[in-house]
Amino acid sequence: IAVNFTDQMFKGIYNGRQCHAADIPAVLARAWSVGVDRIIVTGGSLQESREALEIAETDGRLFCTVGVHPTRCKEFEDSGDPEGHFQALVSLAKEGIQKGKVVAVGECGLDYDRLQFCPPEIQRKYFEKQFELAEALKLPMFLHMRAAAEDFCNILTSQKDRFTFGVAHSFTGSAEDRDKLLSFDNLFIGINGCSLKTTENLEVLRGIPIERMMIETDSPYCDIRNTHAGMQFVKSVWPSKKKEKYDPDSTVKGRNEPCSVKQVLEVVAGCKGIHDIHQLSKTLYNNTCRIFFPHDLDAAADAILEKGIGSQ
pLDDT in tens, 135-185: 999 999 999 999 999 999 999 999 999 999 999 999 999 999 999 999 999
How many degrees, rounded to 5, is the angle at CA 198 between CA 241 and CA 175? 135
Q: Between residues 301 and 141, which one has the greater pLDDT? A: 141
**The pLDDT value given to residue 295:** 79
| Distance separating alpha carbons of residues 120 and 111, to the nearest angstrom | 8
pLDDT band at 43 (very low <50, low <70, confident <90, very high): very high
Backbone angles phi, psi at 19, to 5 degrees: -105, -25
Please check the confidence at residue 305 and state whether its pLDDT lies above 60.
no
Q: What is the enclosing helix (H) or strand (E) of 18?
A: strand 17-18
- pLDDT tens figures, 189-221: 999 999 999 999 999 999 999 999 999 999 999
Which segments within 26-98 are labelled E, that is strand? 39-41, 62-66
For the chain, give the percent of residues with pLDDT over 70. Answer: 94
**The pLDDT value given to residue 75:** 97
pLDDT band at 307 (very low <50, low <70, confident <90, very high): low
| Distance separating alpha carbons of residues 121 and 148, to the nearest angstrom | 12
- pLDDT tens figures, 54-113: 999 999 999 999 999 999 999 999 999 999 999 999 999 999 999 999 999 999 999 999
Is 113 annotated as ligand-binding? no
Q: SS3 of 209, please? A: coil
Integer angstrom CA distances of residue 218 from 88, 124, 164, 260, 301: 26, 23, 23, 10, 22
The model's pTM: 0.93
Is 218 annotated as ligand-binding? yes
**The pLDDT value given to residue 310:** 47
pLDDT band at 302 (very low <50, low <70, confident <90, very high): low
Please check the confidence at residue 301 and state whether its pLDDT lies above 60.
no
Distance of alpha carbon 220 from its chain centroid, rounded? 11
pLDDT band at 260 (very low <50, low <70, confident <90, very high): very high
- Choice among 1-15, 69-83, 98-112, 290-304 with the minimum mean pLDDT: 290-304
- Scanning 6-73, the segments in alpha helix (DSSP H) are 24-33, 46-56
Is 169 annotated as ligand-binding? yes
**The pLDDT value given to residue 306:** 54
* Per-chain mean pLDDT for the chain: 94
- Ordered structural domains, the chain, with CATH: 8-302 (3.20.20.140)
Please check the confidence at residue 298 and state whether its pLDDT lies above 60.
no
